Structure formats: structure tokens, C-alpha cells
Amino acid sequence: MPKTLNGIMQGFASAYAGNTAVSTSTASFQFDAAAGTFTASIAPESWNGASLSGAGDYLHDRSYEFESNQGSLRVDGSPDLLCNCDYLSWGHWEAINVPGTQPGIPGEDVPPNVAQNGYWIIGKLTPLAELPTNIVATYSGMVIGAAYRDDQVVDGLTGDFTATVNFAAGTGSLNIANFDGHSFGSSFDLGSAASGMPDNAISGTIESTMAAPYFGRYTAGFASDGTDNTAAMLGTFDVREEGGTNWSATGIFAGKKTSETPASGAP
């Protein structure tokens, strides 16, 4: 059933610009349920401070969007697809003409920022300092995004997401599988704060192994369901296959906590 979102929710976004991933994008939404309005901003790191921003009407968690001459943003019609987490929200976005902010040569126009096939995901992100330090948790959910192959971007692709996090040791691993026929992952350190969101997000690289010749980046965080500060893990990724295949992908992921056990040696 639809529910009411209120206040500030933060998260991550992904997209393509032509055949290049727009990576490490932050998303910030503010909902005013009483007024029936919302505002949103998506700011990719590569845009040098520019963002797709706008405001629109808000009815409930499955009905809100805006469209302007700079782009559009909408909530997805199936918010439970990723992990059946009704305290998260996600959808699509596109930027068609966001003014550039990179200083250019005097008298020369700065090209506008563009993005296509974009996805965003938001929640009540838990500051890293408020994460537990005495448990090991596992997460399971889905991935949705787009991939560049055969000289075109293919949208609406899905895959499987899993993660294991040792909050006591401050380490973990995330894995994405069966995404457009590809599987890859990364270990991570909870101390690797993400740029632009230092209090509640981590970032790192997806690196090649002998079994998985991929390279890319991820940004992730943990969301509260109102009771559990680590109820879900969510984030975004971009990755490319090495070896001349010309395949690359970007998207969002979310996983609901499926188990929690005391960490070895924890009080």
C-alpha cells in the first residue's frame, strides 16, 4: 500500500551520457506531505557542482514527478521491485539541458550537462558514526540499470544483489550477479567515506580478478526503517568489462537485511 514520505531523504543516482556512465551522483529529496509537494536534486560528481533540480506535486510514495526544460524525474511505479522495502523510494531521471558550471575560455559557452537512462534511489540514510559495532549482517535484493553494448544503451536491466557486512570489523563485500549476463563485486571498508556525503555513505572501486575482468566504482549506504538503522543497504555502481568487449553498465541496487548475528568477540 502507498505510504506517506515526509522530510529529507538522501541517496544515490546513476545514468549514461551518450555511452559513458555518469558516476558517483548524490540524490537529495525533501517531502512536504501536508502541502502535497516535494523538491529534488541530483548532482553527479563530474558536473562540478551543477545539478538537476526541480519541484512537483506529491501525493504519496508511488505518485510524484517533475518535468522542466532541464530534465525530468519520476518515482517508479513498482517501488517493491528492488527489495520490498517500503521505507525506500526509487525511480528514473533524465537531464537534457542542465547549465554547465565548469569555467571555460572567456567568451566561450560551457556545454550543458546531459544524462539519459538514469535511475535514483533514496532513503533515511544512517550516518556512519551511528552504525552498530557488534553485528554481522547479510543483505539480499535486486539491481536495476542500463548497459552499453552493441553500440547502444539497453535500459531496464535487472540482476541480483547480495552483501555481507561485518560492522564490528568495519568491512564487507557486495556482489552483483546475473546483470545482463555479467557478475562482479567488491570488498569494502566502512571507513571509506564518499565524497559529497561524508557522514552517511561509503565508496570504493570494483576491481578485476582472474575470474572477473571488470573495473568500476560503487557508492553505498545503509537506510533505517524507523527502528533498525541498518535495515537495508542501497547504492549505485558503474562498471566496465576489460579486454576490449566495449561492455559497460551503471545502475542502482538495494538489499533488505536477511540475517543478523553477533560478531565474534563482540560484547
pLDDT band at residue 257 under the 50/70/90 scheme: very high
Q: Which of 138-147, 156-165, 185-194 has the lowest mean pLDDT?
A: 185-194
Which tens digits make up the pLDDT trace of 107-134?
Answer: 566 789 999 999 999 999 999 989 999 9
Please tell me whether residues 86 and 180 are part of one structural domain: no
Which tens digits make up the pLDDT trace of 152-176?
Answer: 999 999 999 999 999 999 999 999 9
- Determine the average pLDDT of the residues in 64-71: 96
Number of domains in the chain: 2
Return the pLDDT at 12: 95
Q: Domain holding 49: CATH number? A: 2.40.160
Query: Does residue 1 lie in a domain region?
Result: no
Enter the DSSP assignment of 130.
Answer: G
Strands (E), the chain: 7-17, 20-32, 37-44, 52-60, 63-67, 71-75, 89-98, 113-123, 135-149, 152-166, 171-179, 182-189, 193-194, 197-206, 214-223, 232-241, 248-262
CB 39 within 8 A of CB 29: yes
Query: Does residue 267 lie in a domain region?
Result: no
Query: Does residue 54 lie in a domain region?
Result: yes
Please tell me whether residues 145 and 241 are part of one structural domain: yes
- Determine the average pLDDT of the residues in 98-106: 71
- Count how many Cα atoms sit within 13 Å of the Cα of residue 194 in the half-sphere of its side chain: 28
Range of the domain at 228: 128-262
Which tens digits make up the pLDDT trace of 20-64?
Answer: 888 789 999 999 999 999 999 999 988 988 999 999 999 999 999
pLDDT band at residue 197 under the 50/70/90 scheme: low
Please tell me whether residues 102 and 132 are part of one structural domain: no
Q: Which of 62, 97, 123 is the last residue of a domain?
A: 123
Please tell me whether residues 93 and 167 are part of one structural domain: no
pLDDT at 211 over 80: no
Query: What are the phi and psi torsion angles at 190 (to 5°)?
Result: -65, -10
Distance between CA atoms of 70 and 252, rounded to whole angstroms? 22
pLDDT band at residue 235 under the 50/70/90 scheme: very high
Q: Domain holding 221: CATH number? A: 2.40.160.90
Return the pLDDT at 78: 74
pLDDT at 3 over 90: no
Return the pLDDT at 107: 56
Return the pLDDT at 196: 65
CB 64 within 8 A of CB 57: yes
Query: Does residue 35 lie in a domain region?
Result: yes
Return the pLDDT at 265: 61
- 0.95 exceeded by pTM: no
